Structure 1
């Protein structure tokens, strides 16, 4: 079907100045970009007067791997104008499920994802299952090191032996052959927390020096610089390094983003390719088990629960984490029972009449470790400094859909928040540059085919928004409200959001990286 998009101001994704133009679509492709009023009069047209037309946004860091497998449609991203998501981040991918350690993989993934009926073994079978279910947004999957390790060794803190190392390499090779875009790690989470740098370098070598290593680094606070250096060492073995949700966590580390970004610039000048993503909030979100020392997590869920129930747990945890932890800055986001959600650990402790560490233990034990949290740990100055860097792209880091509760509002508001708060209101980025960070930059970096720019021959993934009114609406107490000021989205030339309403059409696809 041929359609002419008229009346819009074009942000073409390259960072070039906004301009007036009409865009001609034919089926799933952009066929021409012409001066206003010069296209043939007889063409059917869509009037986008007053709106900015941009390429569909690309979420550089998502955990919506399970979205295709849900019976309901996950609309949290498409209503933000996101048409493509990079999934499999932080070492969590839904394959491989393993042979001898299938139960360990289920437990590992269950700390992040809602219950999922995993009927596959490897990546080809996983992708066949998600392809059959259909996609609301396009997906670009990564292979998760945490899942590889759990499948090969279980949740042990022991180093993989030669056989386990071969199993991990073979699974990574299978994932890449099946269409994955790279390798991800989550070195803050067990079992990856126990991995050595050499283990990761050995695995990254499978990518042959031309691949992509994406990492939730080992430390985002006190040891930030050491963690960056480790990430770059591993990334050199892969080919390129991507640092996920770059931040300086906890008040005594605020200000470290300036030297951290300088470190990355120096690395680029030396010839190594490195980029990063951020989300536009000063609160993070992860599993509450991330608060626990490594030895509490060096085993399966029952091991961790038994440690938490032991008489020594309160004293050990108070000694290990209490000194630099502000429990009034940590809120429970979601739990299976939905108890405690939206409340800080300090508030829960006051209600229970116990110390905050004991309240944390109570929440973890009663919910069998399946607890996500929101942690107010970052400073606005560091966030804005990261946003200004030309190699920073935008990622929501939204939790998997289907958990319920009160997830971080980045799940519904990330991209409108950048365009509204940080481009329009605060001027941290120009509008064309903000669009570039969401479109052509991640498309080029992740090697996503035919997307990221409005140009003839490209796939017609497009979004139209009102630059004067676009804004995020959801907050930490009511996070699931969709944004305002984003009336129209199309995927591969097919309208999927009209008048700000999702039309109930799964028009996405699983993409394969450009060769």
Structure 2
């Protein structure tokens, strides 16, 4: 089907100034970008007057791996204008799954994904299942080191011996052959936190010196600089390095983003290919178990729960975490029975007449560790500094769909928030530069084929938005409200959002990296 898009101002994804142009689509491709009024009169037209037309946004950091397997369509990203998501981040992927450590893999994944999520033995089997179910957005899957390790050594801190390394390498090779984009790690989470740098380097060698290593680093606060150095060591072996959700967490670390970015700049000057993503909020979100000391997580769920139920846990945790944790900044986002959602640990403690550490233990025990939190831990100045950096792209880091509750509003608002708060209102970024960070930069970095630009021959993944009206709407107490000001989205030339409403079409696909 041929269609001419007229009347829009074009942000083509390169960062070049906005311009008026008409865009001709033929089936799934852009076939021409024309001066206004120069196309033949007989062509079918779509009037986008007053809107900015951009390439479909690419979410550089998503956890929507399970979205294809849900009965309901996950609309949280497509309504933001996101047409492609990089999934499998932070070391969490839905394969491989080995019967020897089935309980460990299931427990590991269920700390992030809904309990109904079923891992698959191999990536080929996982991709066959998600391909058959269909995709609301295009998916670019990564291979999770955490899942590889849980399937090989369980949840313990056991060192990976040569046999374990061989098993993990085999799983990584299988995933790459099946079409994955690279290896991701989540070194803040067990069992990955028990891995040595040498273990990660051994796996990175599988990627052949031109592969992609994506990392939730080992530390994002006190040891930020050494964590960056470790990421670069591993990424140099893999070929390319991507640092997930770059931040300086906790007040005494605020201001560290300037030297951190300088460290990455110096690495690029030394020949490292390193990029990063951020989300446009000063609150993070992760599992509540992340607050626990490492030795509490050195085992399966039953082991952790037994430790928490022990009478000594309160005194021990008071000693180890109370001084470094601001409990009024910890908001419960999602739990299986939803009873604590939208409350801080300080709120829960006050209602129960207990100390915040006791509230932490109670929530984790009652919800069998299946708790996500929102943590207000970052400073706006650091965020803006990271956003301005030319090598920074945008990632939502939203929780997997299907959990319910009150997830971080970045799940529904990341991309419109950049356009509203950081482009229109605060002028941190120009509009063309913001669009580049959402489109061509991640397409180039992740080697996503034929997307990220409005140019002849590219796949027609496009979004049209009102630059004066676009905004995020959801907040921390009511996060699931869709954004405003994004009336039209198309994927591969087919309209999937019209007048701001999703048309109930799974028109996405699983992509494979370009060679």
Q: TM-score, normalised by structure 2?
A: 1.00
Superposed, which structure 2 residues align to 1:291-370 within 5 Å? 291-370=291-370
Match of 1:385?
A: 385
**Pairing 1:507–2:490 present:** no
SS at match of 1:323: helix
Contact 2:145/2:184 (<8 A) preserved: yes
User: For 1:233-262, what per-residue CA distance to the aligned partner results, in whole angstroms no more than 9, with x for missing partners?
Assistant: 111110111000000000000000000000
**CA displacement, residues 273-297 of structure 1 (integer Å, 9 cap, x when unaligned):** 0000000000000000000010000
Secondary structure at 2:202 match in 1: helix
1:259 is matched with which residue? 259
Q: Does 1:490 align with 2:505?
A: no
Give the CA deviation at 1:117.
4.9
Q: Count matched residues.
A: 515
> How do residues 339-488 of structure 1 correspond to structure 2 at under 5 angstroms?
339-488=339-488
1:33 and 2:33 matched: yes
Unaligned runs of 5+ in 2: none
Give runs of aligned pairs for residues 34-53 of structure 1, distance below 5 A.
34-53=34-53
Cα distance in 2, alignment partners of residues 410 and 119 from structure 1: 25
1:224 aligns with 2:224: yes
User: What do the CA deviations read for 1:182-235 (whole angstroms, capped 9, x no partner)?
Assistant: 000000000001111111111111001100000000000000001100111111
Matched ranges for 1:9-88 at <5 A: 9-88=9-88
Superposition deviation, residue 102 in structure 1: 1.3
Higher mean Cα deviation, 285-294 or 95-104?
95-104
Cα distance between partner residues in 1 of 2:430 and 2:321:
41
Residue 160 of structure 1, CA deviation: 1.3
Backbone CA RMSD of aligned residues:
0.6
SS of the residue 1:473 aligns to: coil
Task: Could you list the structure 1 runs, at least 4 aligned residues long, displaced by more than 4 angstroms after superposition.
Answer: none
In structure 1, what is the Cα distance between the partners aligned to 2:239 and 2:117? 35
SS for the counterpart of 2:99 is: coil
1:45-71 Cα distance to aligned partner (Å, 9 max, x none): 000000000000000000000000000
- For 2:312 and 2:199, the matched residues in 1 are separated by 33
Query: What's the CA shift for 1:116?
Result: 3.2
The answer to whether the 8 A contact 2:106-2:119 is kept is no
CA distance, structure 2, for counterparts of residue 205 and residue 296 of structure 1: 32
Q: Distance in 2 between matches of 1:346 and 1:446?
A: 41
Q: TM-score, normalised by structure 1?
A: 1.00
Contact 2:94 2:120 in 1 (8 A): no
The range that moved more, 1-10 or 309-318, is 309-318
Query: Could you tell me how far 1:34 is from its partner in structure 2?
Result: 0.2
Give the aligned partner of residue 199 of structure 1: 199
Residue 281 of structure 2 is matched in structure 1 by: 281
Shift of 1:316: 1.0
Where 2:323 maps in the other structure, the secondary structure is: coil
1:99 positional shift? 2.7
Tell me the equivalent position of 1:239.
239
Return the offset for 1:118. 2.6
Deviation at 1:120, TM superposition (A): 2.9
Distance 1:308 1:196 in 2: 27
Shift in Å, 1:35: 0.4
**CA–CA distance in 2 between the matches of 1:474 and 1:245?**
20
3-state SS of paired residue (1:242): strand
Separation in structure 1 between the aligned mates of residue 302 and residue 483 of structure 2, nearest angstrom: 41
2:43 is paired with a residue whose SS is coil
Distance 1:33 1:405 in 2: 44
Which residue number in structure 2 is paired with residue 104 of structure 1? 104
SS of 1:227 mapped into structure 2:
helix
Alignment CA distance shift 1:367-1:119 (3 Å): closer
Equivalences for residues 111-190 of structure 1 within 5 A: 111-118=111-118, 120-190=120-190
**Aligned with 2:240: secondary structure?**
strand
* Secondary structure in 2 matching 1:437: helix
Q: Distance in 1 between matches of 2:120 and 2:335?
A: 26
Matched residue of 2:434: which SS?
A: helix
* Secondary structure in structure 2 of the residue aligned to 1:101: helix
CA deviations over 1:392-418 (Å, ceiling 9, x no partner): 000000000000000000000000000
* CA distance, structure 2, for counterparts of residue 376 and residue 20 of structure 1: 41
1:213 alignment counterpart: 213
d(CA) in 2 for partners of 1:121 and 1:333?
30
Aligned-partner Cα distance in 2 for 1:320–1:13? 47
Question: Which structure 1 residue ranges, 5 or more long, are not aligned?
Answer: none
Q: Distance in 2 between matches of 1:232 and 1:474?
A: 36
